Amino acid sequence: MKKLFIVIILAVCGCGLYAQTVMFQPEASVGFYNNENANGLSYSYGGKIILMSNLYQRYGIIINHLTFKNDKSYFSVGIYLEQVLFSYFNMGIGTVGYIGLSDNQNPFGLYTHLGFEYPFADRFHVIAAYRSDMIFSQNLTMNNAFMLSFGIHF
């Protein structure tokens, strides 16, 4: 786990040479998941470390802890791209590795979100979005959630 963390830090620092600014974006979400065996409430918390190419295009790393009602949980880390259209419409996509905390499964998946971003006070953003996770394990798991995020860029 320490090696993974070191690789992530080096990647962010190395890519930072091409970015204008860095954005930290803590987030939380509540939603509903469904797979062949179970369905129910899900919640997640975590954040993103985003490098801004310009005001409307961003890339970075997403780190989250996703928990399902049946006590199944994942720690997820992935690469992330984000685009802002018309100054307010925010959309993002990323490939994510899910590390099983309650079992030995470590599937991969796809993370997406579509939502509204409201910038205020030059360095702060509030984002409300529909979040979707597709986890490709033995049974395909779909997680759909409402995400609320707060971005701070330097």
pLDDT at residue 119, rounded to an integer: 87
Domain that holds residue 124: 2-153
Digit-coded pLDDT (tens) for 53-62: 888 899 999 9
Which parts of the chain sit beneath pLDDT 70?
A: 1-20
Query: How many structural domains compose the chain?
Result: 1
Helix/strand/coil (H/E/C) assignment for every residue in the chain: CHHHHHHHHHHHHHHHHHCCEEEEEEEEEEEEEECCCCEEEEEEEEEEEEEECCCCEEEEEEEEEEEECCCCEEEEEEEEEEEEECCCEEEEEEEEEEEECCCCCCCEEEEEEEEEEEEECCCEEEEEEEEEEEEECCCEEEEEEEEEEEEEEC
pLDDT at residue 6, rounded to an integer: 63
Digit-coded pLDDT (tens) for 121-153: 888 999 999 999 999 988 898 999 999 999 998
Query: pTM of whole model > 0.75?
Result: yes
pLDDT at residue 123, rounded to an integer: 85
pLDDT at residue 52, rounded to an integer: 87
